[in-house]
Chain A
C-alpha cells in the first residue's frame, strides 16, 4: 500500500523529461522567429508573449475568470445532462435507436455557424456560451458513459439476479459504479473541446473573456497579447484535464490505472 510514495525517482525523471521537451519546443520557436523565419506581427516570439503575460496580467486575469466560469459551468451542465441521457439510452434501446443519430448529427453542427445564431436569440450573456460548450462536450461524455454501461459483464448481472436484486438495485450496485469511469473519460475528452467551444461562442458575440480578448488584440495587431490569451487557454485545458485525473484517482481508486494520465 505504498500509494503515498508520490515523488519517486521515476516520476521526477518523467517530469524533467516533459519540462525539457517543452523548453526545447519554446527554444526552437524563439530561434525561428528571431532568425527571421516568421513575421513577429503574424507569429510573435515566446519572449514577447511572456512579456505580454506579465504586463497584461490583470487584463488577462479578468477575462480568464469569465471564460473559466463559462467552461466550468458548461462542462458541469454537459456532464449532468449527458449522464442522465446515457442512463435513459441504456435502459431503453428504442429511445437509443431514435436518439443516437441525432446525437451524432449534433456533433456535425459547425459551431462557427451555430454560435452567432444562438447569440442572436439569447444575447451576449452566458447562456449561449453554455449551450455551445455543452453542445460540443456532450457527445463524448454520452458515448463513453454508454460504453461503460454496456460493458458491464453480463455474468455479473446474472449473478445479481440470483440474489433476487430488482432492476433498480442492479443499477444502483453494479451499473452505476461501473459507469463512473466512463463519465470521467468522457469529461476528460470534453475539456479541450469545451475550451474551443467557449472561444467560438465569445467570438460570436461577447464583451469579455479570453476569446473576446484574443479577437480585440488581433484586430489591434497586438499579437503578443493575443497569443498570451491562447497560452492561458491551453494551460487552462491542461489544468482541467489534470484536475479531472486527480479527482478520478481520489474518487474511483479502484479504476485507477497508472497509464495515459497527465497528473
Chain B
C-alpha cells in the first residue's frame, strides 16, 4: 500500500452534484443545563450554556477538556435532550470526535453512508461521493478499507460522510485533533475551501485556539465544567487568514486569556 498517497495541493474541483440543502439554517442554544446521573453521583456537564450560529456562520467552540463540548454538539444534533433550557435550529449532522468509520466499508461507501441510511442505492451513493473523494485527495483510495487509510485520510472520509448527509448544520467535534501539524493545516485548508463553495452553518469544536481563529467567524469560549459560554470573540477578518498575521496572533491571545491560560 502506498503509505501516504494524499496529494499536497487540492486538485481542481470537477463539476459536482449540488448537495440537497434543506435551506439555510441557524442554531440557537439558550440557557441549557445538562446533568448526567452516574453511579458515582451527578455530573453537570453544562450549566446555563448559550450560543447561537447564524445561517452559514462558522462558530468555533473552545474550552478545556470535559467542559461539555461533545455534549453540546449532541444536543444540537438531537442525540440528547437538555434538562432545561432550549435548543433549536436546523437539522444537524455530527462528525464524531473519533472517526467511527465502519471497518467493513471502503472509503467511498463510508463517505456515502448517510445517503445509504436514507435508502439511496449503493450505486447512487457512490456516484454522489466519488467527486468529493477526488476533491479531497482520496482518488485511488475509493475502495480502500479504513484500516488501510492514514489517520488524515480517515478524518477526511469522516468529514465527507457528515457533509454528504446534506444537513444545513455541520457539528464537527474536534475534526482535526490527533493529526500532525502538516496534515492538520491541509485539512483546515480543505474545510475552508469546501465551505466557500458549499456554505453551511458550522459548529466547530476544537482544543486549538489558533485553529478556531483561523477558521471561524466567531469564537465561543467555554468555562471549565460545568460548561457555559464565558467569552465571545467576533473575527471580522478576510480569508484566507495566516496564522502569523498580527491580527490573528492578537485574537488568539485574547481567546487564550478568556480560557484563563493567556500570558
Contact = CB atoms under 8 A, between A and B. Distances in A.
Contact of A255 (B92, B103, B116, B148): B103
B104 A254 contact: yes
Given A1-B1, A165-B117, A173 B96 contact: no
A174 B113 CA distance: 10
Interface string B87-115: 00000111010101011100000000110
Nearest to A2: B1
B165 A163 contact: yes
Interface string A153-192: 1011011111111000110011001000000000000000
A170 B116 CA distance: 10
Nearest to B116: A173
B104 A162 contact: no
Interface stretch (B44-52, B56-64, B73-81): B73-81
Range of interface residues on B (Cβ < 8 Å): 20 to 34
Secondary structure type dominating chain A contacts: helix
Interface in B113-165: 113-114, 116-119, 145, 147-148, 165
A75 B92 CA distance: 46
Interface residues of A, number: 21
A155 B74 CA distance: 10
Given A169-B119, A173-B117, A161 B104 contact: no
A253 interface: yes
A153 B114 CA distance: 17
B74 A158 contact: yes
A252 interface: yes
A158 B1 contact: no
Nearest to B97: A155
Contacts of B100: 153, 155-156, 159
A197 to B, nearest CB: 32
A164 B166 CA distance: 11
A165 to B, nearest CB: 4
Contacts of A252: 104
A162 B1 contact: no
Contacts of A169: 116-117, 119
A173 B98 contact: no
A162 B94 contact: yes
A153 B167 CA distance: 23
A19 B78 CA distance: 59
Given A170-B117, A173-B102, 8 more contacts: A1-B1, A153-B100, A156-B100, A162-B78, A162-B167, A164-B117, A164-B118, A174-B102
Interface of A: 1, 153, 155-156, 158-165, 169-170, 173-174, 177, 252-255
